[in-house]
Structure 1
């Protein structure tokens, strides 16, 4: 059974020097009410479009930085402004250039936008930061984004082998069997090398393929059977092991040999590199749902100020008690802000089912040309119990639901525990991939919000239509248009490493509903406007992680998280939005990328 967005295999203690508890080392960060209150931000006011006289009054203190000479978008859909001032990491004012110039002091730094566009920084509300960082650090990325054809993939494997000494492992990740020519095989990898053990991990996180040298190195006999925990091995038509490896207990036979040990130094480097890479795509905040453990909170918070992005996380349901040491900082509707850091906590994650690509998402109708409906990870009674415990803890819930059956039992559980209340925060349905029209209406009634992995449409739209669901069901995949009609806020996310990071690609797909694989349009009536799509990666995404009062829009008093783009999204063809170059990102008034 597919138990997660992506199998968190590399986060197991077996791979971490000193055990998983010490992934980021030890930290003396303490959680006190006083330090939290000193760090917390006052409630943001309305955008300050100031007059010349008002600017003169404010100018006594002076701005730290003034941006002018371009287009400034306070929030998608709002009138553009000409200039913006920040002080002490927060938005001081927006207005005309002459008005904002009144806030300039001798020490003010002036940034000439030179015609560029400045807008709220992008927020990815579902991005497995630590997991993605370690996978990209430890393993060679052979995914579709870099190697879209089978030939290019195999050439890259040959190149990796050529620079690896014989006998050493070649470990790769991110292979996509749906997009890169079908399953790999033992025979195909033997053609790459017989002197290097090869391990290629699939992007779904639950499958891999190995060559004969890897089978030998891991002491896997031809007559091996099912392993505890469901691990098993594929076989060809003659009954011989074909190199395919399924589920964690089988994957571990190879991964423990192929992956290097993770030290705190390696983990910190990996996260830093990864966050720089997502900042380069315009992200100023990323939220990690369910894969950051409570024992990492203090050291991660201590590190966060040096990171290129603001970071946030939800603990997994199994780690619910891990929030207790931080309750004095406040929990519930607003994110729990760790003092003196750029890190916060929001909500508790439940993994309700698997993946539609592997046909393990739980549906009410069978997958195309099968009798299988997939299966939920929990029955209705178990889901109600878990959600009730999260409600009793004073927290919102985030439930991973790819299939519509899982959405049904999740909404039942939320209604039983919360009714329509948002006193504990916004409850979320993660992915909501196959949400039905009646479920969108029910979410609206219960004040539950969906977050869509719009790369499902971009990368798998054709496969959903032709292989997995059929045209009618595929057309309602990730139904953002239905949310707009219902007046239901939604966000867009990447679920990295399950799909490539990049908010502008999500925005482009939400507007066009274009599948990049064959250029087809999937469910054009579910397309949304550019304003609506941009809100889904700014203010609406920030609100879904309990930070809507602090980031997501450029308003007086809010923290100065912003992105500078080299082209105007409103003057760019929708299908070209992902080509817009990110010039700079700023977090809490500090430039983190570019310049």
Structure 2
């Protein structure tokens, strides 16, 4: 066992535990051995060589846990051209940003961008292949919607993907077409599988394909880039909610090379359900750094892209209600199979129509095989009906929303669906029924920025400073716990992480200021100074005073 000893002191220490605040924390190796007074911590390590970490008045908290973040996709999109709002406000802006890179292209190259949102564009529509042909007709061009649920390509790339007017829409997806039925460059949800059919991971109607083909070395770089962003934000553990063989191989390779620092709980895509069952896997396989957490299902598309399955429909889309990835009975069969095997399930479901499919499936699964404390989850759970909240409570289903989505996209959702859009991510309803409050990012849809997520959850403000659904605000304590101990519970890891408690792993974030001691408007400006995993500092914004003394 690593016998290195550390004491953290001289700052605010928020435990997210029953003690709430302590004066100091003592660590042996990778484990917390005492959280209490400085005197008690010093007594605990009496006679040892101790490294004392002076917090200098700053704030120590448990490392943030993001239960829904796509690590490699985060790295991938960070290497693509930024098309996010407010940098990009029109289709002309998109063309201009992409065109900056046209002259750098070489044979075999392509131009890729990420982050556009049709609802924030001046034209209030999706770009088309005709628009992207203005960038170049000599090289493939691809832009990914901020939701990850759709892409637009130029005509050259459509030809390379072998998509034409004779190509049928796949189950769980749509190929955009013009008035004559000719593909217009838009690919929605499972239609993204076309990118992987020649080389890559094909997932069928089990989700939007975000697994772009690449070399092993480049894939390792994506892990490194994504991890760097998480560590700089104080995130020490993530649940990657869409793992295929590509992610598993890359995560394992990264760890073997000593590059993987953070903890990753993997949710395998439902594509692999039968294979995992044949091999005897269930939730919980793995170790403290890399483990199998759950099976990921997709019920519907995205609220942002207008493909989530809503009973109310959309006012800004021809697809009035969105669509389902699976017919309800097919989904139920898959869900029950995973439940019986011993898996926790996490299901992407945004619209009330899709959420109902999950509720019906969970009820049937418990009927066929009752299980305690499964914590089946609904990812996003964007616009449930009020009646469905009772079902979530009854079935102990954990919703995992993203407050930053309200911050970034809330106003567009309200415009698209009407007043009910104010109930986007309805934390207030969850609180009424004692449903757990969990926060996450869905990075790269939103950046891995727990501090901004906490601010968004507490204020319900949007990017433009307006308030959406004030009745769904939560307290600062609920928000901070939602990104620490409650997030740990959502991945069944509360026994080892999520709070500063004796016996747990020494995963910490050091904040510039105590969140409780700043004005609410200043909350989102708090900087992350340091990030620690297993008692080792893995990120530092600036040098800190440290000294070793003998006790």
Instruction: State the TM bucket, normalised to the shorter chain.
Output: 0.7 to 0.9
Aligned positions, number: 522
Residues 461-540 of structure 1: matches in 2 within 5 Å?
Answer: 461-466=410-415, 468-471=416-419, 473-516=420-463, 518-540=464-486
Q: Which secondary structure state, in structure 2, belongs to the residue aligned with residue 262 of structure 1?
A: coil
The equivalent of 1:30 in structure 2 is: none
Counterpart in 2 of 1:365? 312
Listed one character per residue, the Cα deviations across residues 550-589 of structure 1 (whole Å, up to 9, x for unaligned) are 1000100011111111122112333443322111111122
Native 8 Å contact 2:195 2:212 kept in 1:
no
Residue 146 of structure 2 corresponds to which residue in structure 1?
A: 203
User: What is the deviation of 1:105?
Assistant: 4.7
Looking at structure 2, the residues matched to 324 and 519 of structure 1 have their Cα atoms a distance apart, in angstroms, of 48
Give the match for residue 75 of structure 2. Answer: 133
Contact persistence 1:227–1:250 (CA under 8 A): no
Q: Provide the C-alpha distance between the structure 2 equivalents of 1:276 and 1:449, rounded to a whole number of angstroms.
A: 29
Given that 1:218 and 1:253 are in contact with CA atoms closer than 8 Å, whether structure 2 keeps it comes out as no
| CA distance 1:532–1:475, change in 2 (3 Å) | same
**Secondary structure of 1:492 counterpart:** coil
After alignment, is 77-86 or 204-213 more displaced?
204-213
Q: Do residues 377 (structure 1) and 328 (structure 2) align?
A: no
Distance 1:302 1:238 in 2: 48
SS in 2 for 1:548: coil
Give the whole-Å Cα distance in 1 for the aligned partners of 2:375 and 2:212.
40
CA distance in 2, matches of 1:561, 1:116: 16
**Equivalent residue number for residue 381 of structure 2:** 432
Aligned equivalent of 2:216: 264
> In the alignment, what sits opposite 1:95?
36
Whether the 8 Å CA contact 1:145–1:500 is kept in 2: the answer is no
What residue is the counterpart of 1:175 in the other structure?
116
Deviations 1:208-246, CA, capped at 9 Å, x for gaps:
34446656x74989x8444463663543x7998765455
Which runs of 5 or more residues in structure 1 are unaligned? Answer: 1-38, 40-60
Specify whether residues 84 and 322 from structure 1 end up closer, same or farther in structure 2 by C-alpha distance, changes over 3 A only. Answer: farther
RMSD: 3.4
Alignment of 1:156-555 (within 5 A): 156-164=97-105, 168-181=109-122, 182=124, 183-186=126-129, 188-193=131-136, 196-211=139-154, 218=160, 224-227=165-168, 229=170, 232-235=175-178, 244=186, 252=194, 262-289=214-241, 291-293=242-244, 297=248, 300-301=251-252, 303-304=254-255, 306-323=259-276, 331-332=282-283, 335-338=284-287, 342-368=289-315, 372-418=320-366, 423=372, 425-466=374-415, 468-471=416-419, 473-516=420-463, 518-555=464-501
SS in 2 for 1:489: coil
**2:380–2:401 Cα contact (<8 Å) kept:** yes
**SS of the counterpart of 2:382?**
coil
Per the TM alignment, residue 66 of structure 1 is displaced from its structure 2 partner at its CA by 0.9
* Deviation string, structure 1 residues 25-56 (Cα, Å, up to 9, x no partner): xxxxxxxxxxxxxx9xxxxxxxxxxxxxxxxx
Offset at residue 528 of structure 1 (A)? 0.3
Query: Is contact 1:234–1:245 with CA below 8 Å preserved after alignment?
Result: no
Change (3 A) 1:327 1:470: same
Instruction: Measure the CA separation in 1 of the matches of 2:60 and 2:461.
Output: 27
Counterparts of 1:213 and 1:418, CA distance in 2: 50
Change (3 A) 1:88 1:421: farther
Point out where structure 2 has 5 or more consecutive residues left out of the alignment: 200-210, 544-551
Query: Secondary structure, in 3 states, of the residue corresponding to 2:100?
Result: helix
- From the superposition, tell whether residues 581 and 77 of structure 1 become closer, same or farther in structure 2 (CA, over 3 Å): farther
> What secondary structure does 1:83 align onto?
strand
Q: In 2, distance between residues paired with 1:77 and 1:505?
A: 25
User: In the alignment, which residue of structure 2 is the partner of 1:567?
Assistant: 513
2:208 matched to which residue of 1? none
Using a 3 Å threshold, how does the CA distance of structure 1 residues 231 and 492 change in structure 2: closer, same or farther? Answer: same
Counterpart contact for 2:81–2:114, Cα < 8 Å: yes
Q: Where does residue 503 of structure 2 map in the other structure?
A: 557
Q: Do the aligned residues in 1 keep the contact of 2:165 with 2:181 (CA within 8 Å)?
A: no
Per the normalisation by structure 2, the TM-score is: 0.84
> 1:253: how far off?
6.9
| Equivalent residue in structure 2 for 1:113, among 38, 42, 55 | 55
